Chain A
Amino acid sequence: MFPDVIDTRPLRRAVDNGLNWVVRNWGTELEAAASPLLRLLNAIEQLLLATPWWLIIAILVGVAWLATRRWQLPLVVFLSMIFLGVMDLWRDAMVTTALMIAATLTAIVISIPIGVWMSRSTRVRQIVTPVLDLMQTMPSFVYLIPTVMIFGPGRIPALIATIVYASPPLMRLTDLGLRNVDPAVMEASQAFGATPTQKLFGVQIPLALPTILAGVNQTTMMALAMVVIASMIGAGGLGYQVLQGIGRLEVSRGLFAGLGIVALAIIFDRITQAYGKRLQARIGISEAR
Chain B
Amino acid sequence: MGEQTQQNDIAIRMRGVTKIFGPDPQIALALLRSGKSKDDVQAETGHVVGLDNVSLNIARSQIFVVMGLSGSGKSTLIRHVNRLIDPTAGEIEVGGEDVLSMNLEQLRDFRRTKIAMVFQKFGLLPHRSVLANVAYGLEVRGVKKAEREEKAAQWIETVGLQGYENSRPRQLSGGQQQRVGLARALAMDTEIILMDEAFSALDPLIRSGMQDQLLELQQSLHKTILFITHDFDEALKIGNRIAVLKDGAVQQEGKPEDIVLNPSNAHIEDFVRDVNKARAIHVRTIMDTSKIEPSVLTVPEDARCEDVLPYFAEHDWIGVVNADGKQIGQITAKRVIKALARYSPDVPTPAGE
Contact = CB atoms under 8 A, between A and B. Distances in A.
B124 interface: yes
B168 interface: yes
| Chain A interface helix/strand/loop/mixed | helix
B127 interface: yes
Contacts of B126: 182, 185, 207, 283-285, 287-288
B119 A187 contact: yes
Contacts of B84: 187, 190-191
B117 A283 contact: no
Interface string A249-289: 00000000000000000000000000000000011110110
A86 interface: no
Contact of B168 (A187, A189, A207, A284): A284
A71 interface: no
Interface in B92-143: 107-113, 116-117, 119, 121-127, 136-137, 139-141
Nearest to B141: A193
A184 interface: yes
Interface in A62-87: none
B117 A188 contact: yes
A229 B194 CA distance: 60
Between B109, B123, B136, B137, the greatest number of chain A beta carbons within 10 A of the residue's beta carbon is seen for B123
Given A188-B117, A192-B112, A198-B140, A288 B170 contact: yes
B169 interface: yes
A22 B101 CA distance: 54
B64 to A, nearest CB: 18
Interface in A156-176: none
A192 B121 CA distance: 16
Contacts of A282: 127
A188 B141 CA distance: 14
B168 A192 contact: no
B124 A185 contact: yes
- Size class of the A contact interface (CB-based, 8 Å): 20 to 34
A234 interface: no
Contacts of B117: 188, 191-192
A192 B137 contact: yes
Interface residues of B, number: 29
Contact of A193 (B108, B121, B125): B108
B123 A193 contact: no
Interface in B238-283: none
Contact of B123 (A184, A198, A206, A285): A184
B82 interface: yes
Nearest to B128: A206
B115 to A, nearest CB: 8
Given A187-B84, A191-B84, A192-B116, A203 B125 contact: yes
A128 interface: no
A184 B122 contact: yes
A39 B167 CA distance: 45
Nearest to A207: B127
B123 A187 contact: yes
B234 to A, nearest CB: 21
Contacts of A193: 107-113, 137, 140-141
Contacts of A287: 126, 170
A34 interface: no
A192 B136 contact: yes
A233 interface: no
Identify the 9 closest CB pairs spanning chains A and B, nearest first: A188-B123, A193-B111, A193-B112, A288-B126, A284-B170, A287-B170, A184-B121, A191-B117, A193-B108
Interface of B: 82, 84, 107-113, 116-117, 119, 121-127, 136-137, 139-141, 168-170, 188, 194
Given A191-B117, A284-B127, 17 more contacts: A184-B123, A185-B123, A187-B123, A188-B119, A189-B123, A191-B84, A192-B111, A192-B136, A192-B140, A193-B107, A193-B141, A203-B125, A206-B125, A206-B127, A283-B127, A288-B169, A288-B170
Interface of A: 182, 184-185, 187-195, 198, 202-203, 206-207, 282-285, 287-288
15 contacts: A185-B126, A189-B140, A191-B84, A191-B111, A191-B116, A191-B117, A192-B136, A193-B113, A193-B141, A195-B140, A202-B139, A203-B125, A206-B125, A284-B168, A284-B170
